[in-house]
Amino acid sequence: MGTHRIAAIPGDGIGQEVIAAGLEVLDALQARAPGLRLEVQTFDWGSEHYRRTGRMMPENGLEQLRGFDAIYFGAVGAPDIPDDVTLWGLRLAICQGFDQYANVRPARLLPGVRGPLRDVEPGDLDWVVVRENTEGEYAGAGGRVHRGLPEEVGTELAIFTRKGCERIMRFAFELARSRPKKRLTLVTKSNAQRHGMVLWDETFAQVARDFPDVSTDKELVDAMTTRMVLKPRSLDVIVATNLHADILSDLASALSGSLGLGPTANLDPERRFPSMFEPIHGSGFDITGKGVANPIASFWSAALMLEHLGEGEAAARLMDAIERTLAAGDVLTPDLGGSATTAEVTERVCALLAGSNV
């Protein structure tokens, strides 16, 4: 497959810890897979860069990233800098600048993990949340007027385009088609929001005609939260807007055992730009520096990255090492009820990779 060029951006907080762990695991994987070649360049962008230069990344940051095959991203966010500055200055700037319109978040109850739901076994909870990642409620449109006055107004304008709806739905249908259950659930709030959400409903119905082999249903977002908790087996692939899927994917991750497990792919499915892979959990400054962050979400994100790069076999081997580590149950971080450190979990996954047959 040739050499894959990876831009690593550890960013802030535990992002630094889990990306370092992920790079170690990728090294261990390469040592056992002679055909796999990753060339990693690390960028020190994030809040420290902001404190130093007034920018989360250099002005030509996107230009610097454009030539890479993928971006391996940690997290952004720091207690002393407003969240909208850190996010729009780096992560969202990359998602939007590279038109990574498909945000893909698998959530699966893995063997050995005890989720919070009673009587739910591995296999009962196996979802992929597909989140529209460039428009909707997070398009960035809106503004503030009469600043500082009692009459001040802030607007946040949700933007939904037919093109934006159609492309994310086609992506979600293709994904659903590739999975055994072949089921896709559309989430909106079209009873209360009668413009953009109805455009979502209508576009979904149109796109569905091209996928007769995929079974579909619809759920309003509030009802969806209860369905995820009460009837997890009834779900497979879920497609929702930027805001709704942001919320539902956190719930999905918690229901699958821990926020420390959930991975994300921010994809440009047309491959015009590099796609970005990151754990869902964020910078976690309450546990930063303690060495106890769960690195599994970062490893799983690396597996998604390998899959995107056409390295399916390496991805499967990494997932297998992750699953065996969790199933053994003796080396788990505190979020999963264990007392292991990030380094110990990393060591275990590396050891399993080293022992696996090529």
87 part of the interface to ligand IPM, by CB under 6 A: yes
Whole-number minimum distance, CB 257 to ligand IPM, in Å? 18
Binding residues with ligand IPM: total (CB under 6 A): 3
Rounded-to-integer distance, Cα 330 and Cα 326, Å:
8
Distances (CA, A) of 343 to 17, 25, 58, 184, 203: 9, 11, 31, 38, 47
Q: Which residues contact 318 (CB under 8 A, 6 or more apart)?
A: 25, 29, 299, 302, 303, 306, 349, 353
What is the contact mask toward ligand IPM in residues 274 to 313, using x (rule: CB under 6 A)? ------x---------------------------------
The site partner of 17 among Mg ion, ligand IPM, none (C-beta below 5 to 8 Å per kind) is none
Concatenating the DSSP letter of every residue in 249-308 gives HHHHHHHTT-TTT-EEEEE-TT-SS-EEEEESS---TTTTTTT----HHHHHHHHHHHHH
Nearer Cβ to Mg ion (49/131): 131
246 part of the interface to Mg ion, by CB under 5 A: yes
Q: Check if 222 is active-site.
A: yes
135 part of the interface to ligand IPM, by CB under 6 A: no
Q: Active site residue: 12, 246, 268, 335, which one?
A: 246
Nearer Cβ to Mg ion (38/238): 238
Strand pairing of 3-11 and 102-108? Answer: unpaired
Nearer Cβ to ligand IPM (105/108): 105
Q: Check if 250 is active-site.
A: yes
> What is the footprint of ligand IPM within residues 218-277 (CB under 6 A)?
246
Rounded-to-integer distance, Cα 269 and Cα 279, Å:
19
Whole-number minimum distance, CB 164 to ligand IPM, in Å? 16
The closest of 98, 31, 75, 85 to 55, measured between CA atoms, is 85
Residue 140 tokens read as 């960035």
Rounded-to-integer distance, Cα 95 and Cα 102, Å:
9
Nearer Cβ to Mg ion (38/224): 224
132 part of the interface to ligand IPM, by CB under 6 A: no
40 part of the interface to ligand IPM, by CB under 6 A: no
The site partner of 335 among ligand IPM, Mg ion, none (C-beta below 5 to 8 Å per kind) is none
CB 112 within 8 A of CB 219: no
The site partner of 87 among Mg ion, ligand IPM, none (C-beta below 5 to 8 Å per kind) is ligand IPM
Nearer Cβ to Mg ion (81/92): 92
Q: Check if 246 is active-site.
A: yes
Nearer Cβ to ligand IPM (246/347): 246
Would you mind telling me the total number of residues written for the chain in this entry?
Answer: 358
Q: Check if 189 is active-site.
A: yes
Q: Active site residue: 84, 124, 217, 222, which one?
A: 222
Question: What phi and psi, each to the nearest 5 degrees, are found at residue 93?
Answer: -60, -35
Q: Check if 236 is active-site.
A: no
CB 345 within 8 A of CB 332: yes
Q: Which residue's beta carbon is nearest to the bound Mg ion?
A: 246
Distances (CA, A) of 95 to 74, 262, 278: 14, 18, 12
Whole-number minimum distance, CB 83 to Mg ion, in Å? 11
Which residues here bind Mg ion, judged by CB under 5 A?
246
Write out the catalytic residue numbers: 138, 189, 222, 246, 250
Which residues here bind ligand IPM, judged by CB under 6 A?
87, 246, 280
